[in-house]
Chains A and B, each alone.
Chain A
Amino acid sequence: SQQGEEDPQALSIQEGENATMNCSYKTSINNLQWYRQNSGRGLVHLILIRSNEREKHSGRLRVTLDTSKKSSSLLITASRAADTASYFCAFTGNQFYFGTGTSLTVIP
Chain B
Amino acid sequence: DAGITQSPRYKITETGRQVTLMCHQTWSHSYMFWYRQDLGHGLRLIYYSAAADITDKGEVPDGYVVSRSKTENFPLTLESATRSQTSVYFCASSESGHNSGNTIYFGEGSWLTVV
Contacts and interface: CB of A to CB of B under 8 A. Distances in A.
> A-side binding surface: helix, strand, loop or mixed?
strand
A44 B107 CA distance: 10
Interface in A19-64: 30-31, 33, 35, 40-45, 48, 50
Contact of A90 (B59, B104, B108): B104
Interface stretch (B11-19, B64-72, B95-103): B95-103
Contacts of B106: 42-44
A100 B39 CA distance: 8
Contacts of A96: 33, 45, 48, 98, 104
Given A42-B90, A42-B106, A43-B90, A95 B45 contact: yes
A4 B59 CA distance: 13
B103 A48 contact: yes
Interface of B: 33, 35, 40-45, 48, 58-59, 90, 92, 98-99, 101, 103-109
